[in-house]
Amino acid sequence: MYNRDFQKLRFYTHKLKGSILTLGIEGISGFCEDLEKAAEDKKIFDNTVSRNTELNEYMQTVIAELNQIREKYTKLQL
């Protein structure tokens, strides 16, 4: 049912967590920590899948907001 590539899950969630914290978007780090822990434990439960879904939804919101900011500041350039 799920691709259980724990090494990739851990790598990408750890990388995302670092990037997100650099940007100051701390709300996402909790999702990453949960997914990183699941990867370390090599255990995927239904709540792990739901946390991943929540993370994806949150990221879509963040991306949309960043695009709005980019558009706003692009218009200000002379």
Summarize pLDDT for 21-62 with one digit per residue, the tens: 898 888 888 888 888 998 999 888 878 888 888 889 988 998
Total-model pTM? 0.69
Is 28 within a domain? yes
Phi first, then psi: what are they for 43, rounded to 5°? -135, 120
Is 35 within a domain? yes
Domain that holds residue 27: 6-76
Is 1 within a domain? no
Cβ(11)–Cβ(34) below 8 Å: no
Higher confidence at residue 3 or residue 37?
37
pLDDT exceeds cutoff 60 at 1: no
Is 58 within a domain? yes
Q: Report the pLDDT value the prediction gives residue 78, as an integer from 0 to 100.
A: 58
Q: Residue 76 and residue 59: Cα distance in Å, rounded?
A: 26
Overall number of domains in the chain? 1
